[in-house]
Chains A and B, each alone.
Chain A
Amino acid sequence: MNARSKRFHIQRTQEAPPKEPVQAYVTSAVKLIKRERAAISRWLKAKHGADIKVEYIVDPDIIGGVILQVGDQVIDGSIAGKLETLRNHLRAAIR
């Protein structure tokens, strides 16, 4: 379990107070610039309300792209995720 997953696990299992802000994790292979962070923050507030807390993580293992995680929802736009999807599709195709 990596650091991101551990945090996600802790966040899910803890009883959150009713008014605690929603926690979001944004993982990228390189540090996001201000404009990119702003775009992601806008999208998160539009979808989950203004009371949201965003943590930005840099993980070169994802190679490129971004992984966005809010609660149970995960949007994987990383190269590593696409490669895993490709691997699963190829395995399913040759079965």
Chain B
Amino acid sequence: MARLGINVGYLFWQIVAFGILVFLMQRFLYEPVLNMLDKRAEKIKQGLADAEAARQRARASEKEYADKMAQARREANEIEQRIVADAQREHDAILAKARAEVEWMRAEAQQQLALERAQLLAEARKSAVNLAVDISRKVLGATVPLDEDVQRDLVRQFLQELEAYE
């Protein structure tokens, strides 16, 4: 060893000192740094996981929002359609009722008209009959008295009818 220029004692103490240095570095430098790095890595990992969870929650919330919006739109459409249908039904009912009333009034008016026409016709016929009979009466006697021969002939006819009368 001496021929190689190595001092064994010096080497020994160097080895001891190096061991102590390694021990000290291991004890006070490497472990805290490694621990810190592990903690940092863990923290980052946790942050990523939290971010992923937050993103999942955000997606779920977005989906829920979209579903609720779609549901709200569907309900709004249904309500709108129901309102339109109700309004249409009411409109149709009012229109049908109005048409029925108009039809009834027209039928009533026609019936009344027919009745009045029939009454007028009956009155006209009655008046015509009365007029005809009254004119006949006047022509036959009231204005121009029947002559004697006609009167005698009428009495003779009566006597003939009387003979046949039971």
Contacts and interface: CB of A to CB of B under 8 A. Distances in A.
Interface in A17-68: 28-30, 32-33, 36, 39-40, 43, 60-61, 63-66, 68
Given A30-B148, A40-B159, A63 B142 contact: yes
Range class of the A interface residue count: 20 to 34
Interface string A83-95: 1101100110011
Contact of B133 (A28, A40, A86): A86
B141 A65 contact: no
A61 B146 CA distance: 12
Given A63-B137, A63-B141, A64-B140, A79 B129 contact: no
Contacts, number: 78
Which range holds the interface residue count of chain B? 20 to 34
B141 A43 contact: no
A15 B146 CA distance: 40
Contact of B159 (A29, A36, A63, A87): A36
B56 interface: no
A20 B81 CA distance: 103
Given A29-B141, A79-B141, A65 B154 contact: yes
B151 A43 contact: no
A32 to B, nearest CB: 6
Given A30-B148, A65-B155, A90-B129, A75 B140 contact: no
B159 A64 contact: no
A64 to B, nearest CB: 4
B129 A64 contact: no
Given A83-B133, A83-B137, A86-B136, 6 more contacts: A29-B151, A63-B137, A64-B140, A64-B150, A75-B161, A80-B137
17 contacts: A29-B151, A36-B155, A39-B162, A40-B159, A63-B137, A63-B142, A75-B161, A77-B158, A77-B161, A79-B141, A79-B146, A80-B137, A83-B136, A84-B133, A87-B130, A94-B125, A94-B126
